[in-house]
A = this chain, B = another copy of it.
Amino acid sequence: MRQATRYLDVPTQGQGFHDVTGPIRSWVASQKIADGLLTIWCQHTSASLTVQENADPDVRADLLDALDRLAPEGGGYRHTIEGADDMPAHIRSMLTQVSLSIPIIGGGLTLGTWQAIYLIEHRRATQTRRLALHLLGA
């Protein structure tokens, strides 16, 4: 059994879902692992991870609306010094994922047919977000 690690930088331009499945799948494929485990870690507290449907873009628009409803701007927060979109970003990160661990079976990630891996950007300003990847297997 062996392991591999790398960082993946994801440029974002405002709130939204960024599909990172392609570069992650490519890296995993390049490591020639038949069976193993991939872990993705998001190094931020105002951006996060989710796995969601990759077919209808309306799904992502509705998911953003849902996050906006669950953690609205102008919610009477104490923490406002970093901008009106910062505290909602922390709440939305808390309600979604910071790490994902995906088995590899038979040479590929066990993502379902409709599953894609998304980095969710919760801030309005342009950012570069960093994911740490760990791969283990044989």
Closest approach, in angstroms, between the C-beta of A50 and any C-beta of chain B? 5
Taking residues whose C-beta sits less than 8 angstroms from the other chain, chain A's interface range is 35 or more
Known contacts A1-B1, A99-B100, A90 near B62 by CB under 8 Å: yes
Interface membership of A9, Cβ < 8 A: no
Interface membership of A29, Cβ < 8 A: no
Describe A's contact surface by its main secondary structure: mixed
Taking a contact as CB atoms under 8 Å apart, the answer to whether B3 and A94 are in contact is no
Contacts of A100 in B (CB 8 A): 98-99
Taking a contact as CB atoms under 8 Å apart, the answer to whether A98 and B37 are in contact is no
Taking a contact as CB atoms under 8 Å apart, the answer to whether A97 and B98 are in contact is yes
Taking a contact as CB atoms under 8 Å apart, the answer to whether A115 and B78 are in contact is no
Interface membership of A52, Cβ < 8 A: yes
CB<8 Å pairs between A and B, sample of 14: A3-B137, A5-B105, A41-B102, A41-B103, A43-B113, A45-B52, A45-B112, A50-B94, A52-B93, A59-B87, A62-B79, A65-B77, A66-B75, A98-B100
The 6 closest A-B pairs by CB, nearest first: A43-B112, A103-B134, A110-B132, A58-B78, A58-B79, A103-B132
Measured CB to CB, the residues of A under 8 A from B are 1-3, 5, 7, 35-37, 39, 41, 43-45, 50-53, 56, 58-59, 61-63, 65-66, 70-71, 75, 77-79, 81, 87, 90-91, 93-105, 110-115, 130, 132-134, 136-138
